[in-house]
Structure 1
Amino acid sequence: MIEILNPTELSRARDTGAVVANILQSLKSRAAAGTNLLEIDLWAHEMIDEAGARSCYVDYEPSFGRGPFGHYICTSVNDAVLHGLPHDYVLADGDLLSLDLAVARGGVVADSAISFVVGESRPAESLAMISATERALSAGIAAARPGARIGDLSHAIGTVLSEAGYPVNTQFGGHGVGSTMHQDPHVPNAGRPGRGYVLRPGLVLALEPWVMADTAELAVDDDGWTLRSATGCRTAHSEHTIAITDDGAEILTLPGDPQR
């Protein structure tokens, strides 16, 4: 299913996006060496409730997971990159933490992810990987405009990641967003320009470049959810929800003051 949002729905999407962005930035500021992943999940729960929103993950039960997910946010550490199930783990200085949050508010979903290094350590390899995903995300957003095709976005993202020296997995990537979290079209993190669905105003997409330092192969934890690099290397993940406008693309998951 592909939804095209009307102006009223897009206004709600901006509000939902601000909720997601505000929560992620708050969690980033609070996450420190000694913080337990279950604390982060609890904080996310509290802030989601306070915003009058609903986490898209609690009852999430896709065919590839061992559901329902049962938590409010994805917390992926070091070699974990996607769908990290919060568990009893205490963050250490230098850990690379990725937080992925999707919530629904006013009938519209927004989805975003950030990666950052915890504590005072600044491992150069981790920072370079995070930077590559952020630059790839910016490139994908820059390519998004009416008349462009999904392949144009995928090509822009994949070019940045590949030129930075990272293998690219296309099994999981970006996706349509609307009244539900995961919709068509799928937006792989590599692709051929000029191919795929034609973008038009009102289409909302979550673009999410993610990489693993030395492999494109994933391994699944025993929890049935957490996806890790098959080699144990570190990973990074960046994501924004965007809306296609008459002039290009608008980033919806930016911090702001959502309307009640």
Structure 2
Amino acid sequence: MQYARKHRIQIKTPDQIEAIRRAGQLVIETLDLVAPHIRPGVTTEEINTMVHDFTLRHGAIPAPLNYRGFPKSVCVSINEVICHGIPGPRALSDGDIVNVDVTSILEGYYADASKTFLVGSPGEKARKIVDVSRQCLAEGMAVVKPGSTVGDIGFAIQSYAEGQGCSVVREFVGHGVGLDFHEAPQIPHYGRPGSGVRLVPGMVFTIEPMINLGRKELVILDDGWTAVTRDGSLSAQFEQTLLVTESGVESLTPYPL
């Protein structure tokens, strides 16, 4: 506990973990609701409306809405958009990839997860970046256990991504979550083995590697939110909210990888 306090990490109690798990279940149900609607012609605003209405119907609050001025209830990021895509009139096209990032607040507790979906009949490059980013999350999760470090997570992800000829975004990281949207510690998706904060049971955080098919550099658009690859290459992301257990890891937003 002293170690956690030193790093401002909020170790969750069993009751808090159960509450975050319930929020996580709602997040997964929301992603499952959206999935069959990912098809050409659907606008990102329509996805936002689905997420917003479903969240409210289940007694929860969409965490992104008005968070630091973000104007919508979900982030929807297409193709070269790395993250924080603002829903609007843009329609999905055949061959696109699209990340839907859902964070729900249920009874005061937060859970956060995202998936990147393939739209219609994607090409080889689209399939590759989605597959690589999905596996990057799996590689990161595989090293989560008491005694591992944040650097171990980042190294596992970076090694796999770069081994596939892709790159890891540096500017956006995973984070503690549960009692607030963003808590300590930060979880970079690159790093050195053995470096950074050591993992202890009761920690809850996201791993959410943003993987580019091209170079790692990004640009923030004039809206102040939308991050895109500088070279215009495709970017994909998968994210889950994770609990460090006594023996390993449990996803509080579980879906198959």
Quickly name the TM-score band, shorter chain normalised. over 0.9
Q: CA deviation at 1:108?
A: 1.5
Write out per-residue CA displacement over residues 131-187 of structure 1, whole angstroms, 9 at most, x where no aligned residue.
Answer: 111111111111001111111111111111111111222221111112111111111
Match of 1:43 among 37, 50, 71: 50
Q: Does 1:52 align with 2:53?
A: no
C-alpha distance in 1 between matches for 2:60 and 2:123? 35
Write out per-residue CA displacement over residues 34-69 of structure 1, whole angstroms, 9 at most, x where no aligned residue.
Answer: 1011110000001101121111111211xxxxxx10
Q: Which amino acid aligns with 1:27?
A: V
Q: Residue 123 of structure 1 corresponds to which residue in structure 2?
A: 123
Q: Percent identity?
A: 32
Q: Residue 14 of structure 1 corresponds to which residue in structure 2?
A: 21
TM-score normalised over the length of structure 2 = 0.94
Assess if the C-alpha contact under 8 Å between 2:168 and 2:209 holds in 1: no
C-alpha distance in 1 between matches for 2:169 and 2:84? 15
Q: CA deviation at 1:243?
A: 0.4
Q: Residue 87 of structure 1 corresponds to which residue in structure 2?
A: 88
C-alpha distance in 1 between matches for 2:254 and 2:22? 10
Q: Which amino acid aligns with 2:204?
A: V
Q: CA deviation at 1:124?
A: 1.2
Assess if the C-alpha contact under 8 Å between 2:169 and 2:209 holds in 1: no
TM-score normalised over the length of structure 1 = 0.93
The Cα RMSD (Å) is 1.1
C-alpha distance in 2 between matches for 1:126 and 1:202? 36
Q: Does 1:140 align with 2:137?
A: no
C-alpha distance in 2 between matches for 1:107 and 1:249? 23
Aligned residues: 248
C-alpha distance in 1 between matches for 2:40 and 2:169? 30
Q: How does 1:103-114 map to 2 (within 5 A)?
A: 103-114=104-115
C-alpha distance in 2 between matches for 1:97 and 1:169? 17
C-alpha distance in 2 between matches for 1:254 and 1:150? 21
Assess if the C-alpha contact under 8 Å between 2:219 and 2:229 holds in 1: yes
Assess if the C-alpha contact under 8 Å between 2:96 and 2:122 holds in 1: no
Q: Which moved more, 1:214-223 or 1:38-47?
A: 214-223
C-alpha distance in 2 between matches for 1:99 and 1:40? 9
> Which structure exhibits the higher relative contact order, with contacts defined as CA atoms closer than 8 Å and separated by 6 or more residues?
1
C-alpha distance in 2 between matches for 1:169 and 1:34? 29
C-alpha distance in 1 between matches for 2:243 and 2:215? 31
Q: Residue 149 of structure 2 corresponds to which residue in structure 1?
A: 149
C-alpha distance in 2 between matches for 1:89 and 1:222? 17
Q: Residue 216 of structure 1 corresponds to which residue in structure 2?
A: 216
Q: Residue 78 of structure 2 corresponds to which residue in structure 1?
A: 77
Assess if the C-alpha contact under 8 Å between 2:95 and 2:126 holds in 1: no
Assess if the C-alpha contact under 8 Å between 1:200 and 1:244 holds in 2: yes
Q: Which amino acid aligns with 2:24?
A: G
Q: Residue 183 of structure 1 corresponds to which residue in structure 2?
A: 183
Q: Which amino acid aligns with 2:103?
A: A
Write out per-residue CA displacement over residues 170-211 of structure 1, whole angstroms, 9 at most, x where no aligned residue.
Answer: 221111112111111111111001111111111001001111
C-alpha distance in 1 between matches for 2:102 and 2:118? 18
C-alpha distance in 1 between matches for 2:144 and 2:108? 24
C-alpha distance in 2 between matches for 1:3 and 1:174? 15
Where structure 1 has 5 or more consecutive residues not aligned to the other structure, the ranges are: 62-67, 256-260
Q: Residue 65 of structure 1 corresponds to which residue in structure 2?
A: none
